[in-house]
Amino acid sequence: MGEFYADLLIEDCIIIELKACEHLISPHVAQLMNYLKATNIEVGLVLNFGESPDFKRLIYTNNRKSNIKNL
């Protein structure tokens, strides 16, 4: 397994990815989804500070994750 480097991790509950591009594209969202799938964190935000600010909120609950043992 590799390591991931989220831009911000808030209270070990929310992953935030920061972007500064023209607009958000699917690889930006996919990057955050991979982070959510690989950790026990369920909520993530992609924030874009480009020409037109935008954001995407993703939720991937732990009961859907096969790599994490559910209690």
64: confidence class by pLDDT, cuts 50, 70, 90: confident
Domain ranges of the chain: 8-63
Which pLDDT score is estimated for 46? 97
Helix (H, G, I), strand (E, B) or coil at 28: helix
Are 45 and 57 in contact by the 8 Å Cβ rule? The answer is yes
Which pLDDT score is estimated for 68? 65
pTM of the model: 0.84
Q: Which residue has the higher pLDDT, 18 or 2?
A: 18
Are 29 and 60 in contact by the 8 Å Cβ rule? The answer is no
User: What number is the average pLDDT over the span 18-23?
Assistant: 95
Are 34 and 52 in contact by the 8 Å Cβ rule? The answer is no
% pLDDT > 70, the chain: 90
